[in-house]
Amino acid sequence: VTAAPVPDHVIDDLAARLGPSSVLRPEDGLDAYDLPARPVPGTGRGRALCVARPRSTAEVREVLSWARRHRVRVVPQGANTGLVGASTPPPDQRVAVLSTELLAGPPTVDPVDRTVVAGAGTRLSALDAALAPYGLWLPIDLAADPTVGGMVATNTGGARMIRHGDVRRHVLGVEAVLADDAVTVVEDLSTLRKDNAGLDLAHLFVGSAGALGIITKVALDLDRRPRARATALVATADPGHRLTVLFEAHLGEHLSALEAMSAEAVSMASEARGLRVPFAGGPPPLTMLVEASTTAAGGPGVADLEALLAGAVEAATSDGLAADAVLAPPGEAWALRHALTEGLRRHGQVLGFDVSVPRRELGPFRAEVRAAVAHWVPRAVVADFGHWGDGGIHCNVVLPATDPASEDERRRIREIVYGAVAARNGSFSAEHGIGPLNADLWEQHTPDGARALSRRLKDLMDPLGVLGHPGLPYGEPVSG
Amino acid sequence: VTAAPVPDHVIDDLAARLGPSSVLRPEDGLDAYDLPARPVPGTGRGRALCVARPRSTAEVREVLSWARRHRVRVVPQGANTGLVGASTPPPDQRVAVLSTELLAGPPTVDPVDRTVVAGAGTRLSALDAALAPYGLWLPIDLAADPTVGGMVATNTGGARMIRHGDVRRHVLGVEAVLADDAVTVVEDLSTLRKDNAGLDLAHLFVGSAGALGIITKVALDLDRRPRARATALVATADPGHRLTVLFEAHLGEHLSALEAMSAEAVSMASEARGLRVPFAGGPPPLTMLVEASTTAAGGPGVADLEALLAGAVEAATSDGLAADAVLAPPGEAWALRHALTEGLRRHGQVLGFDVSVPRRELGPFRAEVRAAVAHWVPRAVVADFGHWGDGGIHCNVVLPATDPASEDERRRIREIVYGAVAARNGSFSAEHGIGPLNADLWEQHTPDGARALSRRLKDLMDPLGVLGHPGLPYGEPVSG
């Protein structure tokens, strides 16, 4: 559907409401908003009608009033680092971008309560800089630098979730603006931890992908920064879940990451980035990154944590689960882990799938996907890695850049992966959330009652359907 | 409002749908359902039209279809241990009780994933018995034995929240039945930790007090049981937040409880229950219970945890925050803490307030309440205790049983406490949730936008208003 063109006076009306400097038009150059900040296969250049950059909650209300009045759909955008296409405007519809980048004043830190209230447009890096002097952090470890509003709308997970949880676990409150008739401001910014005084509306917006309201401010529960860390890289054949259970039992509350990297992923990354593989025989079938950490000033030091890790590895070795292991400095171990995505990209065409399965299914899932891909697309290489401790797998299938997948092969690989996920009651979107790139999977895999209620919530909170990417699965697109 | 009497055929219709043995009538004796399981000041004997005891999700749908058809309001009831009156029927309205007690088959434990799916009627004690053989637990420490459905509907907190979080943090999924036109079953029972495949509807029901739907099943994230624990009792003048910050920094991830008990509360409890006060000079102004624990098989033992505690106490003493301290066996320390509620009750009339404030306000809040109560109702004693580490206070005001508070004095004390809470952006319901006993406070203290959205959610999910206690603040009561 190509939408009717939008007359200039519509954008003029927005400029009149916000002030002309707060509205960017195509002739100003909108690349930063039209192009995803990270390459997202399946999403190309979008084309925004215009970009609204409100500076306050009141101005967000103005933008939504304007959108309702002119029936223009608004895509909220933070850092545009999302990986399912939800933050980038489509190329061919009358869609405006609401950028939260100016909703980013200095965060209000309460060091006694370990809480912060931050504008939605605050970058994770800026938040971290504000928290570090207090010895606090938001313990979400990511390959990108998103805004806190985007993180809440996506419910980001990351590599330290096994100890610290996802974004939802840290959300104490949200302020959001609805696109309903009253353009309601829902204010639920309490920073109290013990607070059960009514429905907790903040959680409605966690993972909502911008479909229910524009998040303007967020109140977050923080953790203390670690005082000591130690990491080990453990070489293993695929141990299924047994190594996970062993490390959890041995390390207990100290276990702060349990990541796995396939031989294929490690090879590509070390080749592309010149990183050293720490095992003499080259990368083993799986390299596990295990981190132990402490926030206790009176607790274990680095040497104690290393001894704890060594004890866990010894137990794993004597159970036949670990073939080799090295204590690596955390910087070196994480450099390898963080090099994987870029390493794969340099190697060829990457078909990426962000999925999860119950932990006991990790081994069978990998075996099934590998066998099926080898059978149907023999030149493709499965180079998977991910958050083993939480059942999360970045199941990447890599093809030569010179001989990429045909449409048919892409479809086949997609079917293999999502079929294997569905057969195990896994999730087709473990941490990237929902957007136009996986809306069809939501339709297929969400139970009827949950689908119906999701649509009705969307309709209640955004009755004209002006909010969020038009490719989101909730509700009908606005008629232009 | 006294409702029109309900003809017998209405209850006959319910019996026809569920089978007669699943419906109890007043002549069967309904004390177990009409009376709260714990004394709740302000709530007396209710009077249920009848009690429906469905055995399955399909039967819950039958009950709600029946309620819609006959416009009978249904109060969901688990163990009836709630403290704000939401689970007990009112005495004078046409209200049926839906007891979840038969929705309690054996829980499905996944020891590899550390998850469980349990029927809503499963008691916490039964759940614990099913989890213990696997070394797992739901780490919610309470003075009651509620059902898991009730715990989710209330978002219970308890005494180990500082380390383990509230019930919400452990909710992975919920199955619930709505009272909407289709009597929709919302099924969101995935046990995956990494799962962001759409709106997370489960969280809508957490803390909903039965107003949005009947929770039939719950999927929970579990923790490993502690392998070692140590507790200290620390004598202190009111240190405000400084002791909390010190203990958090020193003990880090090992800190699993930080409770405080006023001298008044300890005296009443030790008198009523013959418990030993561990300090030579009698109870100090505040006794802090500090617990350190570990789940790590390779981690610290009891002696290490005791040394960790001793180090923290030493630091507190040299900072002038602690006057005395003893390492007490966990059983003894917790026996004192758990004796407080009953101790107060034996002492006299207890006016209880379940509130929270930012941690830096704990000291000023207590000082203000004590001064005002002493001024206005000099014979009343403030005997407070609670979850200091999370800002939670059970602010109890105790009067002689022989000379209880007049209506005027009750109103005055309520104003003092809630006024001091509101002035500090605290919560009037920290962990007991919402019910007829505090609905007026919800009206007063909830921002407009949040109130409006709460009402509209209620209306969307229960358009006839047949669900939940009629004294809940959302929506209008059903017209009988």
pLDDT at A480: 39
Which residue among A359, A438, A453 places its CB closest to the CB of B186? A453
In this complex, do B450 and A227 lie within 8 Å of one another by their Cβ atoms? no
pLDDT at A476: 63
Residue of chain B whose alpha carbon sits nearest to that of A387? B194
Contact A51, A24 (CB under 8 A): yes
Contact B148, B122 (CB under 8 A): yes
Tell me whether A58 touches chain B (CB under 8 Å). Answer: no
Residue A281, phi then psi, degrees to nearest 5: -85, 15
pLDDT mean over B330-334? 94
In this complex, do B452 and A184 lie within 8 Å of one another by their Cβ atoms? yes
Instruction: Give residue-wise pLDDT tens across range B222-272.
Output: 999 999 999 999 999 977 889 999 999 999 999 999 999 999 999 999 998
ipTM entry: 0.96
Contact B115, B72 (CB under 8 A): no
- Angstrom distance (rounded) from CA A173 to CA A455: 24
Interface of B with A in 120-139 (CB under 8 A): 135
Which residue among A193, A211, A294 places its CB closest to the CB of B252? A294
In this complex, do A198 and B253 lie within 8 Å of one another by their Cβ atoms? no
pLDDT at A4: 66
Residue of chain A whose alpha carbon sits nearest to that of B228? A252
* Distance between A34 CA and the closest CA of chain B, angstroms: 24
* Distance between A321 CA and the closest CA of chain B, angstroms: 16
Closest CA to A386 of A401, A365, A405, A372: A365
And the tokens for A456?
Answer: 């009705």
And the tokens for A6?
Answer: 């939008």
Closest CA to B295 of B221, B223, B226: B226
Instruction: Give residue-wise pLDDT tens across range B101-119.
Output: 999 999 999 999 999 999 9
Tell me whether A181 touches chain B (CB under 8 Å). Answer: no
pLDDT at B479: 45
Closest CA to A371 of A440, A420, A312: A420
And the tokens for A133?
Answer: 């002097």
List of chain A residues with pLDDT < 50: 1, 477-480
Residue B31, phi then psi, degrees to nearest 5: -50, -45
Which residue among A169, A204, A241 places its CB closest to the CB of B204? A204
- Angstrom distance (rounded) from CA A303 to CA A294: 12
In this complex, do B206 and A203 lie within 8 Å of one another by their Cβ atoms? yes
DSSP result, A228-296:
EEEEEEEEES--TTHHHHHHHHHHGGGEEEEEEEEHHHHHHHHHHHTPPPSSTTS--SEEEEEEEEE--
pLDDT at A56: 98
Interface of B with A in 347-386 (CB under 8 A): 356-360
In this complex, do A203 and B208 lie within 8 Å of one another by their Cβ atoms? no
Q: HSE, CB side, 13 Å, CA atoms: give it for residue B158.
A: 26
Q: Say which residue, A405 or B6, is predicted with more confidence.
A: A405
Q: Collect all residues of chain A within an 8 Å Cβ-Cβ radius of residue B359.
A: 112-113
Give the pTM.
Answer: 0.96
Residues A278-306: b if buried by 16+ CB within 10 A, e if exposed = bbeeebbebbbbbbbbbbbbbbbebebbb
Helix (H, G, I), strand (E, B) or coil at B364: helix
pLDDT at A43: 81
pLDDT at A142: 77
pLDDT at A1: 43
In this complex, do A252 and B428 lie within 8 Å of one another by their Cβ atoms? no
Residue B440: in which H helix or E strand, if any? helix B439-445
In this complex, do B453 and A196 lie within 8 Å of one another by their Cβ atoms? no
In this complex, do A204 and B203 lie within 8 Å of one another by their Cβ atoms? yes
* Residue partners of A21: CB distance under 8 A and separation at least 6: none
And the tokens for B188?
Answer: 């969101």
pLDDT at B7: 83
Tell me whether B181 touches chain A (CB under 8 Å). Answer: no
Interface of A with B in 141-170 (CB under 8 A): 154-155, 157, 161, 165-166, 168-169
